[in-house]
Amino acid sequence: MSWRLVYTRQAQKDAKKLAAADLKAKAQELLSVLADNPFRNPPPYEKLVGDLSGAYSRRINIQHRLVYQVLEAEHTVKVLRMWTHYE
């Protein structure tokens, strides 16, 4: 059973930036992995700490990351960000 993906308003804005930066294909690949199984390796993921505690991230490229939360009770993956966390 695949997971349902939901996007925050910020993630929707980030998707437009990714398309403009020619990173859409890589992001789509990661999103399909999340829809299949958000805990699958590879590609590797990191559990985040601090204000993003409880969230996970996967690398889109050296600078940009896809940040998401897994809501297991609803069988949903909530995509928080898809752009750099250095801004």
Tokens 């995509």 belong to residue: 79
Confidence of residue 36 (pLDDT cuts 50, 70, 90): very high
Q: What is the pTM of this model?
A: 0.93
Please tell me the distance from the alpha carbon of residue 45 to that of residue 20, in angstroms, as a whole number. 25
Please tell me the distance from the alpha carbon of residue 15 to that of residue 62, in angstroms, as a whole number. 17
| 87 has pLDDT over 60 | no
SS3 55: strand
